[in-house]
Amino acid sequence: MLLEYVVEKLSTYLRQELKITANPRAQDRQPLKDVLQWKPLLGSRMLSKVMLTGFIPNWLEQMHAMLTNPKSNKVEVADWYSKWKSYLETKHVDECEGVQIGFQAALQMMDDALRSDRLSLKMPDLKQLQRKYEADSTIKKSRSKPSRQETSTASFRQIVFIFIAILSSFF
């Protein structure tokens, strides 16, 4: 329950504070770095949810804006995608299922942009991406034996650490 609260706060923080730009050199990634510091405590599944709800929507919106802009170059968009993908790989976040779903949606959008008119390009359905993630997570969870990390409860020290971090970071 506490982790769900943290996930929601981190997602909201990313959505509000990370302003994704078309120019990678002008990109302030500090909000993303702040959230990625939580990775050891959250684990892959929870971080995946944070990225899918906090990062991926803004990232896909920027990509959509770039692809539908008549002045943009599709090669530059592909380069922008590659730079973000490389950055997330260096942070080992690309392994998160939510990020992979976002990458797949981005690739599909770029493919659609090559095949159609810029103005008719549709933004991926974010609710559908979240449902796909939840369905995939449920299937994987039911097929695999839970790991020790998933079945263990948080220690008192971890709970206190999370609580203090929430208070100091967001309030």
Domain borders along the chain are: 2-170
Residue 76 is predicted with a pLDDT of 92
Cα dihedral sign, 64-65-70-75: negative
Residue 74 is predicted with a pLDDT of 85
Residue 160 is predicted with a pLDDT of 61
Distance of CA 115 to the CA centre of its chain: 26
pLDDT, averaged per 10 consecutive residues of the chain (171 residues), comes to 84 95 89 93 90 94 93 90 93 89 91 85 85 70 50 57 63 53
Rounded Cα distance, 132 and 1, in Å: 23
In this structure, the number of other CB atoms found within 10 A of the CB of residue 55 comes to 26
Rounded Cα distance, 138 and 128, in Å: 15
Residue 21 is predicted with a pLDDT of 93
